[in-house]
Structure 1
Amino acid sequence: MKSVKQYSLAELAEFLQVEVKGDASCVVSGISTLQDSVSGTLSFLANPAYEKYLAGTKAAAVLLSPEMAEGFAGNALVMKNPYLGFAKVSRLFERGDGEQVGIHATAFVDQTAEVAETAWIGPGAVIESGVRVEAGVRVLANTVVGSDCIIGEGTILKANVTLCHGVTVGKRVIIHNGAVVGADGFGFANQSGKWVKIAQLGGVVIGDDVEIGANTTIDRGALDNTIIHDGVKLDNLIQIAHNVEIGCNTAIAGCTGISGSTKIGSGCTIAGGVGIAGHLSIADGVHVAGMAMISKSITESGTVWSSGSVGTMPVKDWRRSTVRFRQLDEMAKRIRALEKKGE
């Protein structure tokens, strides 16, 4: 039986470097939402829409902003960003996959591979020739690591991940179940109506502290590498094509598709279901709203982009309508000027 993790508010306050309001000896053994809280848990208020649940919460303590803590009679951990506090504390209650080290009896590790003594290679996993697995790495069940891959310290490859040959993964990376990194990019040349495959000769380079969601795919480069820089967070079911480059600390939500050779800047946020055409550049700090289709480069940093649906139509009509849509503001000003003239 697994022991229940418990922390006093004093311990959590020290961990977060925040102030305690109320009983610092109060002990919590889990996290809950305000509205569904139970005794002995820690809750948080980050969205004003949930303030109505604060007075009646059953949580033993709540993460609150200084403004909200003023009128709250219960125990609280007080900080400017309660949601960030929730994120950090949640890791304390996270269930691990065990603390094994070594190589499971059913795993296959090629004799030319280097596996650190503190790494774990789980049941059914395959480590091919020339692979380097560094300290503290965890390769879970049935994961395949192709030849000449490098996996940095503290990285976790969840069950059924596939790293194709020549993939480099940095430190403290998490790659979730079913992700495929380094498959061939979609490259073909047309010869008299038939498709001739272009060999994909590049690799994939993933930086430190990256997280890659379940069933996400990242294709290898055609000639140069596909590059995912430090701190990037990728949701589930994302397609990243060959030679894409994603800048540091960019976050991308599920079902987004990024076409080949596009470069995305640092600190961007891309919402779910976005489509990004190939060979584009997106500046730093850009936010793209859900279901948008990005068909041209975005050169201005910190801007917000969106696109609506106008229904299905022939592509010639769609292109003409798109041009006219961009002219609507100017047309509206001209119409208003004409109306004033006629008054």
Structure 2
Amino acid sequence: MAFTLAEVAERIGAEIVGDPEAVVGGLGALEHAGAGDLTHLSSTAYRRFLPGTSATAVILARGDAAACPTNALVVDNPYHAYAVASTLFETRPAAEPGVHPRAVVDPSARLGDGVSVGPHAVVMADAELGARVSIGPGASVGAGTVLGADTVVLANATLYHGVRLGERCIVHSGAVIGADGFGFAPDAAGRLQAIAQVGGVTIGNDVSIGALSAVDRGAIDDTVIADGVKIDNLVQVGHNCDIGAHTVICGCTGIVGSTRIGRHCILGGGVGVGGDGPVEICDGVTVSAMTHVTSSIDEPGVYSGGTLHGKTRRWKRSALRFAELDSMAKRLARLEKEVGTR
């Protein structure tokens, strides 16, 4: 598929500096793009590649247009504009409407217009699939689960019973939504009794759930993920979490049950959220990768924790000194008392 720059500019709201009839047929990285490619410049770290690019067109900010050796598509927000333009070149095969002969769909399930159910997929009793929903090969949709229009569930994803997804969501392969929350109560002998998890999972519109991620069902009330949330691969969301709209959760993050996260937050890769009690994070918080959040955050900003990498010998020395800080502080206090400075 190919588009003129005039067509691309109309889609992304860009001003063209150059030839509006030039044609692009694919995407390329700024430093590697060639003739026929569309690329973008959205970070100063890559500005050095702009003068030498061979791309047919570059999406960029007005301040970079003068240095562009080729056609420019000038916008206020190049990264967002590139994201919109990239959808023109989507390579994921479109699912054909209809139910594959090797799929299993319960007679009580309700399927909207244009629904696609792939081979070996299962749609259980009383499930409801909105218009143009796509269920990939081997995926499972539990009893009474409801999927809004244009939602995509990719191969081998699992949606348990009583899950609700909004419109235009995407659930990637291997993700599990609605498994039991991790709840057990010990008896006097220490034997663990599972607590029935009778809540569900409610997910808003335009939510993305990454491959092999898990969103547990609520113990009593639902686990809630609001509109526009983006969850990366290998993320664990515990039971009864409430995640605010347009929050981003990066890979390998674990969020303990009953955590509340506000709107427009970013949790970097490998973040752990959980302490002695429920944690609440307010709107507009960014948590750096590998940080362990053990208490609530009530002020927007960027938060970091943990130790940085270094050569092993130096890191070991630092770790040993860290372990000695308490005794060193006590010795210092004793010395200050002796010399009368405290």
Q: Same fold (TM over 0.5)?
A: yes
Distance 2:46 2:237 in 1: 36
Cα drift, residue 71 of structure 1: 3.0
Cα drift, residue 8 of structure 1: 0.5
Q: 1:291: which partner in 2?
A: 290
TM-score where L is the length of structure 1: 0.88
Deviations 1:127-146 (A, max 9, x none): 00010111010001000001
Distance 2:238 2:163 in 1: 15
Cα drift, residue 98 of structure 1: 2.4
Please say if 1:269 is aligned against 2:292: no
Residue 40 of structure 2 is aligned with which of 41, 44, 64?
44
Distance 2:66 2:230 in 1: 35
Runs of 5+ unmatched residues, structure 1: 313-317, 326-330
Distance 1:55 1:204 in 2: 50
Maintained 8 Å contact 2:52/2:69:
no
Maintained 8 Å contact 1:169/1:206:
yes
Distance 2:180 2:137 in 1: 24
> Could you say what the CA RMSD is over the residues aligned between the two structures, in angstroms?
2.3
Residue 303 of structure 2 is aligned with which of 305, 310, 319?
305
Distance 1:204 1:320 in 2: 46
Cα drift, residue 73 of structure 1: 3.4
Q: Give the partner amino acid of 1:305.
A: Y
Maintained 8 Å contact 2:53/2:69:
no
TM-score where L is the length of structure 2: 0.89
Q: 2:133: which partner in 1?
A: 137
Change (3 A) 1:321 1:226: farther
Maintained 8 Å contact 1:31/1:43:
yes
Q: Give the partner amino acid of 1:277.
A: G
Please say if 1:190 is aligned against 2:190: no
Maintained 8 Å contact 2:51/2:67:
no
Q: 1:64: which partner in 2?
A: 60
Distance 1:212 1:320 in 2: 43
Please say if 1:101 is aligned against 2:97: yes
Identity %: 43
Q: Give the partner amino acid of 1:217.
A: A
Maintained 8 Å contact 2:50/2:67:
no
Q: Give the partner amino acid of 2:24.
A: V
**How many equivalent residue pairs?**
318
Change (3 A) 1:186 1:55: same
**Runs of at least 4 residues off by over 4 Å:** 318-322
Maintained 8 Å contact 2:136/2:155:
yes
Please say if 1:13 is aligned against 2:18: no
Maintained 8 Å contact 1:226/1:242:
yes
Maintained 8 Å contact 2:120/2:137:
yes
Name the SS for the 1:183 alignment partner.
Answer: coil
